[in-house]
Amino acid sequence: MHRFCILAIRFKYNFMKIKLTFVTVIGLLLLGTTNVKAQADISNFTPSHLAAAQKLIATTGMTDARFTAMRDNTIKTVSKSVPEKNREKFIAAMIAFMNKYLPVDGFKDVTAKMYAKIFTEAELNQLIDFYNSPIGKKITSSTPELMQNMMLMDHQILVNHGDELQSIINDSVKE
């Protein structure tokens, strides 16, 4: 649902494509982390609970390189709505921005606290066991492709049904 909200906002304000593309990238990459970070920081977790959350992150293959690649691929996908002559500069600026405000180590710390807030230490250990199983490894290796396909599907929906979406948005905000 949140994907369509973001897409609806992007479509409605299409004339501000570059600014909204920037917001969309940030939204996709930070979705949920800001509020959860504030909540997660005030929770007290045992060192073993946080260690289990960090182990889960590592078990699912979220290495520094993988996080960076996912972030960069998201930026490159969204940059397709930026005029080609500005695209390289846009990508470089977005990567620099994300390195400054969402470095890999900060992302991992926030994510570990998010997992620790939602799952008990025992549940985290069960998830680790699952992700070490053959089907868990398949999910982990398939996730980047699935996410890329979802982004492409969202884009295609906008291309194919943008007029209908614009009409729905306009009708919903009429007084």
Report the pLDDT value the prediction gives residue 14, as an integer from 0 to 100. 38
Q: Is 134 exposed, middle or buried (0-12, 13-18, 19+ CB in 10 A)?
A: exposed
137: burial class by Cβ within 10 Å (0-12, 13-18, 19+)?
A: middle
Name the DSSP class of 13: T
Helix residue spans in the chain (DSSP H) = 2-12, 17-30, 33-41, 47-59, 64-78, 84-101, 104-118, 121-131, 134-173
Does the pLDDT value for residue 75 go beyond 90?
no
pLDDT in tens, 7-41: 444 444 333 344 444 444 455 555 444 444 444 45
- Residue in this structure with the two tokens 């396909």, named with its chain if needed: 149
Let me know: does 26 contact 71? Beta carbons within 8 Å. Answer: no
Place of tokens 């920037």: 22
Mean pLDDT to the nearest integer, 147-169? 84
Place of tokens 């998830």: 127
Q: Please, are residues 47 and 121 in contact by the beta-carbon 8 Å criterion?
A: no
| 80-138 tens-digit pLDDT | 878 899 999 999 998 898 888 878 777 788 889 999 999 999 999 999 999 999 999 99
Whether residue 111 contacts residue 57, with contact meaning beta carbons closer than 8 Å, is answered with yes
Phi/psi of residue 99, nearest 5 degrees: -60, -35
CA contacts within 13 A on the Cβ side of 8:
15
pLDDT at position 43 is 67
At residue 156, the pLDDT reads 84
Structural tokens at position 146: 């699935």
* Distance from the first to the final alpha carbon of the chain: 24
- What digits encode the pLDDT tens for the residues 46-70? 999 999 999 999 898 887 887 888 7
